[in-house]
């Protein structure tokens, strides 16, 4: 691991005490699921079927690639398994360290895939904030998040390009 990765992890993790409930909410899988369902509901209500298909395929492909292919192969331990970081007291006893390996960050990858696939600047900002929250919470090293963003953006772009190539129309 590069020293800058460790230095950035420690610096961002020190922000944990600042707005702790916000960091927790940004990293909560249930909040992400609710947000995803609301986004899908909005797309369906607006009859944006192509965007809905692109969203589902981009997230499915990204999540599968991260969780089932890369994480088991790379098997990098999460920083919260070390004494390098603090975890929020609100999560103690509730699986404070997530599950599975650390590299790459699924949160960062999935949110980047959505932002790029839907070509949405507001969702790109949300992806950046969610990614930072993973480091602040001690769940990931900065390089885990950076790799997740790059992978998610690439798979989001590929999904969108394939959809347009297949004539699914405007997926925005």
Q: Please report, rounded to a whole number, the percentage of residues in the chain having pLDDT higher than 90.
A: 24
Record the tokens describing residue 53, joined without a space. 């298909």
| 28 within domain boundaries | yes
State if pTM tops 0.85: no
Record the tokens describing residue 144, joined without a space. 């885990």
| 3 within domain boundaries | no
DSSP per-residue string spanning 17-59? GSSHHHHHHHH-HHHHHHHHHHHHHHHHHTT-HHHHHHHHHHH
Count of structural domains, the chain: 1
- pLDDT for residue 95: 46
- pLDDT for residue 113: 94
| 170 within domain boundaries | no
| 105 within domain boundaries | yes
pLDDT (tens digit, 9 = 90+) per residue, 151-171? 999 999 999 888 887 777 655
**Weakest mean pLDDT among 22-36, 88-102, 119-133, 137-151:** 88-102
| 1 within domain boundaries | no
- pLDDT for residue 94: 42
Distance CA 111, CA 31 (A): 13
| 6 within domain boundaries | no
- Tell me the residue range of the domain where 138 lies: 22-88+99-165
């Amino acid at each position: 691991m590069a020293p800058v990765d460790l230095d950035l992890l420690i610096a961002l993790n020190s922000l944990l005490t600042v707005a702790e409930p916000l960091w927790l909410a940004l990293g909560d899988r249930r909040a992400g699921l609710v947000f995803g369902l609301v986004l899908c509901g909005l797309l369906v209500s607006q009859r944006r079927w192509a965007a809905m298909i692109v969203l589902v395929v981009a997230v499915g492909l990204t999540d599968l690639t991260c969780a089932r292919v890369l994480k088991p192969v790379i098997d990098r331990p999460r920083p919260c398994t070390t004494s390098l970081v603090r975890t929020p007291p609100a999560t103690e006893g509730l699986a404070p360290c997530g599950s599975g390996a650390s590299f790459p960050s699924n949160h960062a990858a999935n949110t980047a895939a959505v932002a790029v696939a839907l070509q949405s600047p507001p969702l790109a900002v949300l992806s950046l904030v969610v990614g930072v929250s993973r480091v602040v919470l001690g769940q990931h090293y900065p390089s885990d998040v950076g790799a997740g963003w790059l992978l998610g953006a690439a798979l989001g772009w590929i999904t969108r390009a394939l959809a347009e190539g297949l004539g699914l129309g405007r997926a925005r």
